[in-house]
Amino acid sequence: MNVIRSFESGTRRWLWQALIVGLIACPARAEQVEITALFKPDSARPQLNRFKNTTPPGGYCASYPDQCADNQMFSLQVPIQFNSSGAILANHASERQGAMLKVPAQWRELAIHHETTGEPEVVRVRIAGIGSSYETEDVMKLVGGTDDYRRAHNLLWGSSWVNSPLPCLYSGVGWYTNTTYGFFWKTPSEAVCAKQAKFDVPWLRLQHLDFAYELETPNPLKMSSGHYLGSLTYTVGPNGDFDFGDVMLPSSSALTLSFNLDVQHTLKVDIPPGGDKVKLVPASGWPAWLQSGRKPVRLFRDQTFNISASSRFRMSLECEIIQLFNCMIRDPVSQRTAVVQVSVSLPGGLTDLAGQPVSRQPLRIGLGQERQVFQPGFYVDRAPGVLHFEMSPFYVNQIVQSGEAARYIGNITVIWDSEV
């Protein structure tokens, strides 16, 4: 059957030709949809530390993306139909005997877990909008006395379906034919929104279920890299989470939202060329010792590096020669050794686990490991840090001797590890 289909949005109206075909009902089954989100640091926007919803939109938001962008909503469509179990009588006294809907608009929490470590986090979700397209007999025949099916739809229910009953809110669009009317309503609260039939409706079908949702995700900077998975199941049907009254019965009794949050952290350290060879020298160099015999108090070297980090990380040491908790260097001729203490200063945005700035934090072997774990307050992109290598006055006094040349060497490895 060829019909004219119209679109209603405020004072604007468009017409186009469409072909309506018969639909065959499917057996009842539980419906499931996947919601995906991604966190990947963006060097162009380092302060933007939240997940991006990567779920392909369906239903309302696929057709009207600007409406959803303005309201920060995302929508999906599932093939759940609602069919009336009998006629809807004119001026029915109970809203549950007509066209009504009530959705889980309050925030609900669900646990998600890292797919390999089991690390838990919490996601919050609420249903922020609901819609469908109702189908019935030719509305002009149901109400009589008019050849304008837009007016016939309004007469059938007392008002246009583009204008939602309170407490639901107008979404901006409605579209209709002589037998169908598509609608979408915002749901700011968990309460019944109902339309009362003004004429007898022999049968009514909601062809599908559109729903918009709002999503609150955890702080990705405190999460490990990898996928976090979890699900939330809503009941569908009379007095369920998705409740369309006692007459409109669903083809599925449950709707499951499966969540997959993908965390792709960055941890990158760049050492300038030549930074792998550290020479310990006095503050003013060696001339004072070589020319006047004035022994230096300390030997040190500050080695800069650039770090990009979006997650917690641990710093640790590996030593060629170990002395308790520190590394040592050795003169291969005399076999004398001296301790080199290593500490780190990190750029703003990176703190210790107590949230304190990191300045000359000692790095130790096997001691106080929790003190060597650091975290970002925001994504840090190529910010400068410093490794401090220093020999204490005690060892300087031991190895710097008049008339004795020596060359102390040893390998010290500094490790930045994102696996905390």
33 residue type, one letter: V
User: What values do phi and psi take at 98, rounded to 5?
Assistant: -130, -145
Nearest Cα to Cα of residue 177 among 220, 209, 134, 212: 134
Least reliable range by pLDDT among 50-59, 143-152, 233-242, 284-293:
284-293
CA-to-CA dists, residue 373 to 153, 304, 415, 417, angstroms: 65, 19, 12, 9
Sign of CA dihedral 126, 129, 134, 139: positive
Q: What pLDDT does residue 171 have?
A: 82
Please give the mean pLDDT across all residues of the chain.
Answer: 88
Q: Tell me the CB-side half-sphere exposure of residue 286, using CA atoms within 13 A.
A: 8
Q: What pLDDT does residue 29 have?
A: 63
pTM of this structure: 0.81
pLDDT, greater one: 284 or 37? 37
C-alpha span between 130 and 76 (Å, rounded): 10
Q: Tell me the average pLDDT across 120-126.
A: 96
Enclosing H/E stretch for 154: helix 149-157
Tokens of 278: 């550290």
Residues 66-93 pLDDT 10s:
877 877 778 999 999 999 999 999 999 9
Q: What's the burial of 413, exposed, middle or buried (CB within 10 Å: 0-12/13-18/19+)?
A: exposed
Tokens of 119: 């690390």
Tokens of 231: 């699900």
* pLDDT exceeds cutoff 70 at 48: yes
Q: Tell me the average pLDDT across 12-19.
A: 28
Q: Using pLDDT thresholds of 50, 70 and 90, give the confidence band for residue 16.
A: very low
Residues 144-190 pLDDT 10s:
988 898 999 999 999 999 889 999 998 877 889 999 999 999 999 99
How many CB atoms are closer than 10 A to CB 125?
19
C-alpha span between 227 and 114 (Å, rounded): 6
Q: Using pLDDT thresholds of 50, 70 and 90, give the confidence band for residue 401.
A: confident
Buried/exposed 78-95: b ≥16 CB within 10 Å, e otherwise: bebbbbbeeebeeebeeb
Q: Are 243 and 250 in contact (CB under 8 A)?
A: no
350-352/326-330 β-pairing: unpaired
* pLDDT exceeds cutoff 70 at 199: yes
Residues 313-361 pLDDT 10s:
999 999 999 988 899 999 999 899 999 999 999 999 999 999 999 999 9
Q: What pLDDT does residue 3 have?
A: 32
SS3 for 170-216 is EEEEEEECCCEEEEEEECCCCCCEEECCCCCECCCEECCEEEEEEEE
User: What values do phi and psi take at 398, rounded to 5?
Assistant: -75, -40
* pLDDT exceeds cutoff 50 at 195: yes
DSSP code string of 245-307: TTTEEES-SEEEEEEEEEE---EEEEPPTTTTS---B-TT-SHHHHHH----S-EEEEEEEEE
C-alpha span between 256 and 273 (Å, rounded): 54
Percent of the chain with pLDDT over 90: 70
> Domain 267-417 belongs to what architecture?
Sandwich (2.60)
Identify the DSSP state of 50.
S
CA-to-CA dists, residue 135 to 13, 177, 251, 317, angstroms: 20, 9, 15, 70
* pLDDT exceeds cutoff 80 at 384: yes
Tokens of 112: 């998600």
For the chain, the structural domain boundaries read 2-18+29-263, 267-417
Tokens of 404: 């004795």
C-alpha span between 227 and 259 (Å, rounded): 10
Following CA atoms 383, 384, 387, 393 in sequence, which dihedral angle do they give, to the nearest 10 degrees?
-140
Q: Are 9 and 176 in contact (CB under 8 A)?
A: no
